[in-house]
Structure 1
């Protein structure tokens, strides 16, 4: 459980050091009692400077994680498998949320993710679907990751 108080020193050190944490907290492909925006959201509230990267666009709770990224500047969504044919067959991204995803990409809250080489499709497919869906590619591929890592863009 990410909320376990035994982890507070770890979360605190990561937050203080500005080290990004990639977390697979969405409930896809299988939900559990520690998945979803609730558990990691509680951690984020306790450690506001913690830099969280939510894998797979938060698959399973897309709307909740888009809202978290919108309201919490230290939360980013990574695109790994998101919008690809593979993921659309398992957990389709709701079309109604595409405007919010585009906004999040323009606002610098979306990062390119690939899970390469452990993906069931060609690497370029991930880039192609992001372009097709209108994400801000210079932001997703370059500026947002640079800000996350604290390097010049």
Structure 2
């Protein structure tokens, strides 16, 4: 008999499924496919493109849609809220599961807290770290158009 894949004349033909088509192939070509149901040959490695079906693409969220800015002095806000609740750094640390040193650095404005820590601290202390966006912009020249400088909020050093 003849191998349907390479064309060699062979005595033993093996039924194999290659790319979804059942074929009679030689032993050497059998490695390119897998045995149909009932045979004990292991399936060949499948490429990613063959198994993935096209998934419906979801529209991506724009990262600027929900852009919030942290209040400028979030550290003193945390410290005041903690002191109002008569808590020490250690007590707050245990209550929220954040390291004491991290809370201390946040209170001193040394680091800006990550989103997950902001949510935890807001919930525990009953405060908001974000300032509401003010859509009323003032331009330097009333007859001119908006410039980039009109939108920049300059942070002053102490």
More helix by share: 1
- TM tier relative to shorter chain: under 0.3
| Structure with greater contact order relative to length (CA < 8 Å, sep ≥ 6) | 1
- Structure showing greater radius of gyration is 2
TM-score by length of 2: 0.22
